[in-house]
Structure 1
Amino acid sequence: MDAPAPVGTLFGLTATDVGTLLAALATLAMLFALYAVMTVRDPMAKRVKALNERREQLKAGITASTGKRRASLVKKNQTTDNMRSFLSSLKVLQDDQLKDAQIRLAQAGIRSKDLAVAVIFGRMFMPIIIGGLAVILLYVVGIQPEWGPLKRFFAFAITLILAYKAPDLYIDNKVTKRSAAIRKGLPDALDLLVICAEAGLTVDAAFNRVARELGKAYPELGDEFQLTAIELSFLTERRMAFENLATRVKLDAVKGVVTTMIQTEKYGTPLASALRVLSAEFRHDRMMRAEEKAARLPAIMTVPLILFILPTLFVVILGPAACSISEAF
């Protein structure tokens, strides 16, 4: 009697086992997709909460008669308070440095001013901590025994520099991404502001309306416009609200819009016509940047074309001819 034919296996698993595992993975993926769809969160929920807190702070600063109401709205962070006390005891916490860090955090979309103390604390102590670990790993443990003294020194120096610049690099990256997102939606926001101004809405109502309309498509821009509308309603000087917007957004275009808004508030010039000119200018600028990127594309594609496409093309074209020549000889 002939023996049964051997069944093919993969890592000791038969075809039935592999099919069962794939079906189980597909089921888990489907369940995860359903969970992700059913538990989707509103991206504006966190921003709305922060804006409401800012509204309450401004309201308390204007209407509160006692300091108890203000103190209940200003949340203290024990960790940052300890950092502030420690840095103040060392005489290294300067007001200009703290203000600059707060502005950078605001441009990155981080509203908490207490984190500026954490940034300065990180600049000071991250090089000490990470540099100490680098010394232990390089000179005590000897993770790279083949490295000479010069390589070890350069590795230690690069580690110190990166540890010192890490907070600034992180904040700069967030500022760049946020500024690019705001720049992308600014022409549409100005068009909506023009429509609102021509419809007879006030400036703060127009900013509030634009923030609601563009909050889903451009959440960063909607966040800034909503905060500006809140400050326009509560601050004693409307000019301060526009200047705060220019401070929070690191864009020359936003500074131009703020200058226009301040001039219209001061001299009574038509707001709709000025915003329409700015919107057309920003759209032209966006088109010019797109054309500039398109013009750089041939030069960027030259290296991949030479390295990946041309060798394959030569093989396809010259391969049959080379085979025929080798057979002939």
Structure 2
Amino acid sequence: MGFFTSINMTWIATFMSVAALGSLIVFFWAATTARDPMTRRVKALNARREQLKAGITASTRKRTPLNKKSQSTDRMRKILASLKVLQGTQIREAQIKLAQAGIRTKDTAITVIFGRLVLPVVLGGGVVIAVYGFGCFSDWSWIKRYLLVAGSLIGSYKAPDIYLKNLITKRTAAIHKGIADALDLLVICAEAGLTVDAAFARVARELGKGYPELADEMALTSIELGFLTDRRQAFENLTSRVKLESLRGVVTTMIQTEKYGTPLASALRVLTAEFRHERMMKAEEKAARLPAIMTVPLILFILPVLFIVILGPAACSISDNMFKN
């Protein structure tokens, strides 16, 4: 028995040592190969700049020689067109959602639509065959098996939309955190005499490390302001890419200053004060909710320990006196 115990302890110690060494290697690899989050975004922005230089609008794109990815996308497009399920409105809606998620490749819209068609057939059909064809989960009741099949079909159809919605929510929250700081920097740039596109480019460079998502959008807006004939279209593209009401107010202010020639610095200063006030109100709201949130942990974890500490010595002394008597 002691022999097997020593073997087990040896194996456990060896396994823990190997796991610790592997974790250390992964840590050093992640630390040494950390990439700049703006590298990929800068490449995408440069590609967008070249497209605008060539006079390519948002709805068309210059065809390049087909690679494997584009060939697979063309196959998906042909399949969807043959089934007559590919519509222009679907593609535009998918492209808007992908842009809000930070994905600007137009071929991905075809992939999303194709995924909505194929995933229910593959995953949902596989579950149907496994449950009703091969008799899997035969010990379950019929309603449980029906709910499993229905859930797999609906979930596989909604999976691309749910994934995109999650990306949009995370990206919108990340952008919202940096709007107040971006407005402060825009005020400084406007007071320094920079134009709107130059101010956007400067703020994008300053916010590249802290808020890469917001810096990406501002840099793209700066490029579009410099190349598009209608500057209003550049601001409207920004609101379509970022689903955020606070940013929509900033864009409306920018459009009004461009149209009526009002001072940009004063308008942005008012917006900055509103954002600071809104942030303070949200902080006060969270602080006001704290007592109600702390009630349950207080009852479950703090009060029992407090009763034990206070009443424990008295209970021990009472029990000792009773046993003595």
TM-score range, shorter chain: 0.7 to 0.9
Pair 1:266 & 2:259 matched: yes
Counterpart-to-counterpart distance in 2, 1:129 and 1:169: 18
Map 1:85-104 to 2 at 5 A. Answer: 85-104=78-97
Pair 1:42 & 2:36 matched: yes
Where 2:258 maps in the other structure, the secondary structure is helix
- Counterpart pick for 1:241 among 215, 225, 234: 234
Pair 1:60 & 2:54 matched: yes
Pair 1:139 & 2:135 matched: no
Counterpart-to-counterpart distance in 2, 1:55 and 1:109: 17
Counterpart-to-counterpart distance in 2, 1:146 and 1:324: 58
- Counterpart pick for 2:225 among 223, 232, 236: 232
Counterpart-to-counterpart distance in 2, 1:161 and 1:13: 48
Partner of 1:71: 63
130-139 or 280-289, larger mean C-alpha shift: 130-139
TM-score of the superposed pair, with normalisation by structure 2: 0.87
Q: CA deviation at 1:321?
A: 4.3
Partner of 2:45: 51
Counterpart-to-counterpart distance in 2, 1:306 and 1:265: 58
Where 1:52 maps in the other structure, the secondary structure is helix
Partner of 1:160: 153
String of CA shifts for 1:59-105, please: whole Å, max 9, x gaps: 11269xxx9x9334998712222112211221211211211111011
Q: Which structure 1 residue ranges, 5 or more long, are not aligned? A: 1-5
Partner of 2:213: 220
Map 1:294-309 to 2 at 5 A. Answer: 294-309=287-302
Gap change, CA 1:10 and 1:207, over 3 Å in 2: farther
- Counterpart pick for 1:111 among 104, 108, 111: 104
Pair 1:184 & 2:177 matched: yes
Gap change, CA 1:311 and 1:143, over 3 Å in 2: farther
Name the count of aligned residue pairs: 318
CA RMSD in angstroms, aligned pairs only: 3.0
Counterpart-to-counterpart distance in 2, 1:21 and 1:165: 41
Gap change, CA 1:11 and 1:310, over 3 Å in 2: farther
Partner of 2:119: 126
Map 1:206-217 to 2 at 5 A. Answer: 206-217=199-210
Q: Conserved in 1, the CA contact under 8 Å of 2:97 and 2:164?
A: yes
Corresponding letter in the other structure for 2:159: A
Q: Conserved in 2, the CA contact under 8 Å of 1:107 and 1:247?
A: yes
Gap change, CA 1:322 and 1:128, over 3 Å in 2: farther
Q: Which structure 2 residue ranges, 5 or more long, are not aligned? A: none
Corresponding letter in the other structure for 2:269: R
Partner of 2:163: 170
Partner of 1:3: none
Where 2:84 maps in the other structure, the secondary structure is coil
Gap change, CA 1:290 and 1:73, over 3 Å in 2: farther
Partner of 1:197: 190
Corresponding letter in the other structure for 2:73: T
Gap change, CA 1:122 and 1:269, over 3 Å in 2: same
195-204 or 313-322, larger mean C-alpha shift: 313-322
Q: CA deviation at 1:311?
A: 3.4
Where 1:111 maps in the other structure, the secondary structure is coil
TM-score of the superposed pair, with normalisation by structure 1: 0.86
